[in-house]
Amino acid sequence: MPPGEAAHFVSAAPGFVVSAAPILLRSESELTVTSHLMPTFARVDLAFERGEGVWLIATNGERYLDFCSGVAVNALGHSHPRLVAALEEQARKVWHVSNLYEIPEGERAAKRLCEASFADYAFFCNSGAEAMECAIKVARKFQAASGAPERYRIITFEGSFHGRTLATLAAAGQKKYLDGFGPEVDGFDHMPFGDLEAVKRAIGPQTAAILIEPLMGEGGVRVVEPSFLRALRTLCDQHGLMLIFDEVQSGMGRTGELFAYQRIGVTPDIMALAKALGAGFPVGACLTTREAAKGMTPGTHGSTFGGNLLAMSAVNATLDVMLAPGFFDHVKHTALLFKQRLAEIKDRYPALIAEVRGEGFLVGLRALIPAGEMVDALRAEKMITVSAGDNVVRLLPPLIISEQEIAEGITRLDRACAQLNQAYVRRQKQGAAG
């Protein structure tokens, strides 16, 4: 870009287009570093100093309605009293011990996650990408332990996102994110989204597993047909493959059940979790059946920080809230209301919104104008959202949102769309006149 021109930046995750305040680029010699954070994110010129429930309070005191939740992380909103109390209490006792010792809070968290799911084991780590790395390793090791070490390849789907490590980038296979980082990690076969025949053709003597997000988040809140997931399960059973679900984004209540697979009724062998698992505390987990983990003996995997006491107290506090009677009734009720109101907005602004997508509170508006423009317009209305692939604006409010707060969000969305619509009509008229 020529010096002196204003830039609109595109950020880090696939489809995760964040329009930043324009930055004036100067010539190379004049360029001064104003931030010592590596410039891998295009950050908006806005910082928050406090959060209360679904509200974020900026450093200038302005209140923003948070319909992003740190990209599906703050499922219980900000400063939830149960989480604050749990972390304060644990912080006064002990923060971290090595995984070489027993961690009763971790045993408890693992037991609760397993009892609430298909799984027998949980491995705790620190992020979604690490949870996925563990899932990939478990699947490959399962085959090796079954006497077929040559079965290491994993079938994945175009448009998916599994993280930023070298293996998880290779799993998703998006060329633009792999570019410049050396040879792509081998072992992933990418299929077109929803193409069952392609999957059948791709299964070969080296195939170990099939990996899919049961509801695709970064790729544009794309819903996977339950019949497709059922067919994948059948194929895995027929060919001795592991079925891996990446529920890093869709899990921990986002879709109105603790895990998205429970809505769909198709059970994986291995599942990756993170994001809302600690409701804001960085923690991930890989859940597996006993059979799937049969190769995972001492020394085969590990993590220094994974499953430490602070993280485990956050997971247990999150589960205390989510597993309490009535929690998911509330989520389902309010999410349905939200979707109905969004459908009305879509009908009111057919030039702006093509489709309302998603399940529960993992919802997307497929925009007919650049999604980033809608995200910007919403931010001007003091409402935080985030875009995704396929020109989608993602709406990910905390699961604890009330009906009144949903109504407030809809009012702000309506106002932002009214502004955008006026600009759209003006552009149309100018186009017709020109």
Backbone angles phi, psi at 229, to 5 degrees: -65, -35
Residue 63: phi, psi to the nearest 5?
-100, 130
Strand ordering across the sheet containing 383-384: 48-52, 55-58, 63-66, 383-384
Q: Which pair of tokens denotes residue 428?
A: 């149309």
Return the residue of 15, 51, 70, 217 that touches ligand PLP, per CB under 6 A: 217
Stretch that binds ligand PLP, among 20-28, 56-64, 160-168, 386-394 (CB under 6 A): 160-168
Residue that has been written with the tokens 């990996």 in this structure:
211
390 binds ligand PLP (CB under 6 A): no
User: Helical H runs in 216-308?
Assistant: 226-239, 260-264
Residue 201 has which token pair?
């053709």
CB of 274 to ligand PLP, least distance (A): 5
Question: According to CB under 6 A, which one of 66, 133, 189, 218 is a site residue for ligand PLP?
Answer: 218
CA neighbor of 276 nearest in space, from 43, 405, 88, 113: 113
Q: Say if residues 183 and 168 touch (Cβ distance below 8 Å).
A: no
The least CB distance from residue 260 to ligand PLP, in Å, is 11
The yes or no reply on residue 162 touching ligand PLP (CB under 6 A) is yes
Give the Cα separation of 284 and 311 in Å (integer). 9
Least distance (Å) between residue 371 CB and ligand PLP: 16
213 touching ligand PLP, by CB under 6 A: yes
Q: Strand 153-157 and strand 215-216: pairing?
A: unpaired
Give residues 27-56 in contact with ligand PLP (rule: CB under 6 A).
Answer: none
Give the other-Cβ count within 10 Å of 372's Cβ.
18
Nearest approach, Cβ of residue 398 and ligand PLP (Å): 17
Is 249 a binding residue for ligand PLP by CB under 6 A? The answer is: yes
Query: Is residue 69 a contact point for ligand PLP (CB under 6 A)?
Result: no
Distances (CA, A) of 31 to 2, 7, 24, 118, 327: 13, 14, 10, 54, 51
Does 285 sit near ligand PLP (CB under 6 A)? Answer: no
- In this complex, which beta carbon is closest to ligand PLP, that of residue 174 or of residue 352? 174
The binder of ligand PLP chosen from 87, 199, 229, 248 (CB under 6 A): 248
* Min separation Cβ 131 and ligand PLP, Å: 7
Instruction: Please pick, from the candidates 221, 243, 274, 293, the single residue that binds ligand PLP as defined by CB under 6 A.
Output: 274
70 touches ligand PLP (CB under 6 A):
no
- Written as six digits, the tokens of 386 are 């985030």
Burial of 145 (0-12, 13-18, 19+ CB in 10 A): middle
292 scored as a contact of ligand PLP (CB under 6 A): no
Residue nearest ligand PLP by beta-carbon distance: 128
Residues 163-182 that bind ligand PLP (CB under 6 A): 163
Q: Which is nearer to ligand PLP, 363 or 369 (CB)?
A: 363
Q: Between residue 120 and residue 159, which ones bind ligand PLP under the rule CB under 6 A?
A: 127-129, 132
For 90, phi then psi, to 5°, come to: -65, -40
Whole-number Å distance between alpha carbons of 245 and 270: 6
Supply the minimum distance, in Å, between the C-beta of residue 341 and ligand PLP. Answer: 25
- Binds ligand PLP by CB under 6 A, chosen from 189, 246, 257, 269: 246
Q: Helix or strand or coil: residue 175?
A: helix
Is 414 within 8 Å of 345 (Cβ atoms)? yes
Interface ranges with ligand PLP (CB under 6 A): 13, 127-129, 132, 161-163, 213, 217-218, 246, 248-249, 274
